[in-house]
Amino acid sequence: MHAFATRARQLTLAAVLASGAALAQQDLTPAPMTPVAAKTQPQDVLRLLDLWLDAQLAYERVPALSVAVQRGPELLWAKGYGKLDAAGRLPAGPDTVYGICSISKLFTAVAVMQLWEQGRFSLDDDIGKLLPEFTLQRDDPDSGAISVRALLTHSAGLPREADFAYWTAPDFKFPTREQMLQRLGSQRSFMRVGERFQYSNLGMALLGELVARLSGLPFETYVQRHILAPLQLADTRTVLPLELQGKRLAQGWGSLRRDGTREALKPYAAEGITPAAGFSSTVQDLARFAAWQFRLRKQGGSELLKVATLREMQRVQWTDPDGKTSWGLGFAVGRDGSQTLASHGGLCPGYQSGLVLALDDELAVATMSNANDSEDFGSRYTRPIRKLLAKGLSLPASNPALPAYAGRYSDQPWESETVIVPWGEQLALLHLPTRDPAGDLQLLKPVGPDQFRALRDDGSLAEAYRFRRNAAGEVEAVESWGQLMRRVAPLR
């Protein structure tokens, strides 16, 4: 059995060999270590996060990926990976522009709630009375009004889309506002209001129309004046900025094909579906958007919205009967352990995005990529990033003796690659790639000169790891279970 495959396999093997002599106890006197300060630091976890993202990009063959981490008022970390242009020459960065797809809905929801604060309507008003063009047929008209609240919580029973095939390649031809409204009469609801969760781009597009009607401004103009400009989100737009093609706008790509290639996709213009899926942005701008929410929730008062309104948007307003899906006003809202999460994901031609705010910890993660993949598009990166950060943001300062062991290690043919990095007062060993870096992390505790023991979750010690040095005194390999992983590159 391979020694380094996963922690689970290691522990299973330990149980099998517990009665043998392979793990005979040795005198592993703790090595003298330089005292370190007790204060915490994020550098170790951010370094491992960087290594993990770089590996995922390579193994999943994603052309470009940008990530930002916001902690309260501080942009803790932001970086881009891969190449953003079709020719593969321009590096992606935190200022690379991507389509953010359904994260557009959060800006639409803010606009709706601004007008609600002005007393323009009630959340329980019938959308048919606010928009005369709302002629959608009802399968069960006795179930009650299709309200603004129901549209914001995706519980209105509306069809998912307007009656056009705009998600179809290669043209992605979206309807105009007028076309969308004209076709409403040929569509019908298919369940009672409040019966089930039914995500609806059509519903959010109608709320964008409501913003335009009540404000007297085109939807795009209203959002620019009343949300984007005040928050100084200079790289957030209601369109894909085609003038930035070949500069900062990422080329969109389709899903992986069997031969490992992706198709370059044409840019799209969301037209009448813009309030639901047409915006573009950068991870830095979404981090600023998150910082505004943390600031308002902490300081109170009013800034674009009243704090009470924002809290209402990020409170569970509706839960699906399956108990798995809960929604606020525009935000997906849920719990993860002790944390309340407000989030939204985005998927559209050539782009995927995710934004999650851990409200209790004031920690937000924004991710954007320029390729389609069907799996977990909203949380594919945000969930593992957040779990890793939760595990490592409060690490004590690294011991100065530990960087000597940091590096990329070869564990072929068993693992694609392995990294070892300082992790506070221990080392962290992680096999790459992995979808769960926090769960697959193996901690190594120093117990003697160049000697470490695997640290179990309960604090007990498992198998020994012994680092070998060359004639120059540099670490060249690590041995465990009679097998050797050679260091192929140090990490500086």
Summarised one tens digit per residue, pLDDT across range 80-90 is 999 999 999 99
Asked if 92 and 83 touch (Cβ cutoff 8 Å), the reply is: yes
The maximal CA–CA distance of the chain, rounded, in angstroms, is 84
Query: For 314-460, where are the E strands, in sequence order?
Result: 318-319, 326-327, 332-336, 339-348, 351-358, 363-369, 395-396, 407-410, 417-423, 426-432, 442-448, 451-455
Asked if residue 35 has pLDDT above 50, the reply is no
State which H helix or E strand residue 52 sits in.
helix 43-59
Helices 382-392 and 43-59, packing angle to 10 deg: 150
DSSP H helices, 200-300, are 201-215, 219-223, 274-277, 283-299
CATH fold group of domain 66-372: Beta-lactamase (3.40.710)
For 251, the 3-state DSSP assignment is coil
CA distances from residue 272 to 42, 178, 180, 210, 277 in whole angstroms, order as listed: 43, 8, 7, 12, 10
Distance CA 408, CA 51 (A): 10
- pLDDT value for 40: 84
Which residue in this structure is represented by tokens 């300062």? 397
> What are the tokens at 167?
């998600």
Helix, strand, coil tally for the chain in percent (to 5):
30, 25, 45
List where CATH 3.40.710.10 sits in the chain: 66-372
Region of 47 please: left (phi>0), alpha (psi -120 to 50) or beta. Answer: alpha
Average pLDDT of 312-338?
95
Summarised one tens digit per residue, pLDDT across range 472-482 is 999 999 999 88
Residue among 354, 345, 346, 330 nearest 112 (CA): 330
Asked if residue 364 has pLDDT above 90, the reply is yes
Residue among 287, 266, 267, 263 nearest 278 (CA): 267
Asked if 265 and 170 touch (Cβ cutoff 8 Å), the reply is: yes
- pLDDT value for 356: 98
Strands 279-281 and 332-336 come out as unpaired
Asked if residue 164 has pLDDT above 70, the reply is yes
Give percent of the chain with pLDDT exceeding 70: 92
Q: What is the DSSP string of 404-427?
A: GG-EEEE-TTTSSEEEEEEETTEE
> What are the tokens at 220?
């795009």
Residues with Cβ within 8 Å of 192's Cβ and at least 6 positions away in sequence, in order, are 139, 140, 143, 144, 157
Residues with Cβ within 8 Å of 372's Cβ and at least 6 positions away in sequence, in order, are 252, 253, 254, 255, 347, 349, 350, 351, 352
Give percent of the chain with pLDDT exceeding 90: 86
Residue among 201, 157, 150 nearest 180 (CA): 201
For the chain, the average pLDDT equals 91
Sign of the alpha-carbon torsion through 391, 394, 398, 399: negative
- pLDDT value for 151: 98
Distance CA 477, CA 54 (A): 23
Asked if 270 and 109 touch (Cβ cutoff 8 Å), the reply is: no
Asked if residue 296 has pLDDT above 90, the reply is yes
Q: pLDDT band at 30, cuts 50/70/90? A: very low
Distance CA 3, CA 381 (A): 28
> What are the tokens at 472?
């120059």
Average pLDDT of 289-315?
98
User: What are the two backbone dihedrals, phi and then psi, of residue 208, each rounded to the nearest 5 degrees?
Assistant: -65, -40
- pLDDT value for 9: 38
For 311, the 3-state DSSP assignment is helix
Distance CA 8, CA 37 (A): 33
Average pLDDT of 385-398?
95
- pLDDT value for 19: 33
- pLDDT value for 469: 97
- pLDDT value for 482: 83
Sign of the alpha-carbon torsion through 54, 59, 63, 67: negative
DSSP 8-class letter at 83? B
For 103, the 3-state DSSP assignment is coil
Asked if residue 334 has pLDDT above 50, the reply is yes
